[in-house]
Amino acid sequence: MPPDSDYQLVLLANGAFSVRSLAYGETMHPGIGPAAEAETLYVNQLRLRERRAASAGEFVVWDVGLGAAANATAVLRATREIPGRLRLASFENTTAPLAFALQHQAELLSLADYETPLRAMLTSGQARFRDGRQEVEWTLTVADFPAWLAEVVPTVAPPPPHAILFDPFSPAKNPAMWTLDVFTRLFRRLDPQRPCSLATYSRSTMTRAALLLAGFFVGAGEATGTKEETTIAANTLDLLARPLDGRWLERARRSDSAEPLGEAVYRRMPLSEANWKRLREHQQFRNVR
């Protein structure tokens, strides 16, 4: 795991600061900056305000890759004036980026309101607090997420999510987080009776194919900053504004990089015959056969 010195502040073109991991050679939220990207890509696309407001009981968000906590704090800020209960379950394999971010709050402005619970994440991995009109229970699981998915029994895991912020580093640099196995195990953690959507910045064919083969419905997401399109997946079609269609399926068939990652090693390959057959038979494409 990288030590604190493996992180640095980066000033983006629009004047916002973000955190860069030297070990991965990647900047978190590189396009429009942490607060704006968290709001556009995750809060708005997953319709978190409306869905939190409409949920009768606890609304559960899984924050995969807590990092410098821009996504987590964006969710809190967006929902704080809605009466009710939020359960935020963050996952990370190192608290180093959060510790680094807390040392640089003057630049990473979005953290200021949540310094106390963020410090609790570092020390105990849990916090319960009232935020505006909302009761929040926040936990941080510090673990290798793929191993956690494979090993931890549902009875001791956070409740199944209504929304997932899926924000590891890129498939090329962080392939262990983007395998078909990870998405399959993640899908199995969902409650079929609880509508759940997942947003991620990757729009790659191999990521979308992996999500589909894992059992999700998959749609195109909005542009954010430098990304012309992102991805939304869900366990029910109603949560997708623009489901992938037959044209996407045809492009995937011809793509030289559509086969999901089978192991934690990045490579590009066309779809195998077996996965092409499974994709074609996916419920989402029922009307295009």
Ligand X SMILES: C[S@@+](CC[C@H](N)C(=O)[O-])C[C@H]1O[C@@H](n2cnc3c(N)ncnc32)[C@H](O)[C@@H]1O
| 97/221 with CB nearer ligand X | 97
CA torsion, ordered 66, 70, 74, 80, to nearest 10 deg: 70
- Which SS3 state, helix, strand or coil, does residue 19 take? strand
Give yes or no for a contact between 162 and 60, defined as CB atoms under 8 angstroms apart: yes
Taking the complex as a whole, the smallest distance from the CB of residue 22 to ligand X amounts, in Å, to 12
Q: Footprint of ligand X on this chain (CB under 6 A)? A: 28, 34, 38, 65, 67-71, 91-94, 97, 144-146, 167-169, 174, 176-177
| 176/234 with CB nearer ligand X | 176
Taking the complex as a whole, the smallest distance from the CB of residue 151 to ligand X amounts, in Å, to 13
Residue among 126, 110, 26 at smallest CA distance from 75: 110
Which residue minimizes CB distance to ligand X?
Answer: 67
d(CA 28, CA 66): 11
The Cα angle at residue 40 between residues 12 and 8, in degrees rounded to 5:
30
Taking the complex as a whole, the smallest distance from the CB of residue 26 to ligand X amounts, in Å, to 7
Q: Which tokens sit at 257?
A: 């990089």
| 68/198 with CB nearer ligand X | 68
Taking the complex as a whole, the smallest distance from the CB of residue 27 to ligand X amounts, in Å, to 8
d(CA 221, CA 59): 22
Listed in sequence order, the residues at least 6 apart from 74 whose beta carbon sits closer than 8 Å to its beta carbon are 35, 38, 39, 42, 43, 110
The Cα angle at residue 176 between residues 23 and 18, in degrees rounded to 5:
40
| 28/82 with CB nearer ligand X | 28
Write out 149-181 in H/E/C secondary structure.
Answer: HHHCCHHHCCCCCCEEEECCCCCCCCHHHHEHH
| 92/259 with CB nearer ligand X | 92
d(CA 64, CA 244): 24
Taking the complex as a whole, the smallest distance from the CB of residue 163 to ligand X amounts, in Å, to 14
Taking the complex as a whole, the smallest distance from the CB of residue 271 to ligand X amounts, in Å, to 26
The DSSP symbol for 222 reads -
| 176/180 with CB nearer ligand X | 176
Taking the complex as a whole, the smallest distance from the CB of residue 119 to ligand X amounts, in Å, to 16
| 91/216 with CB nearer ligand X | 91
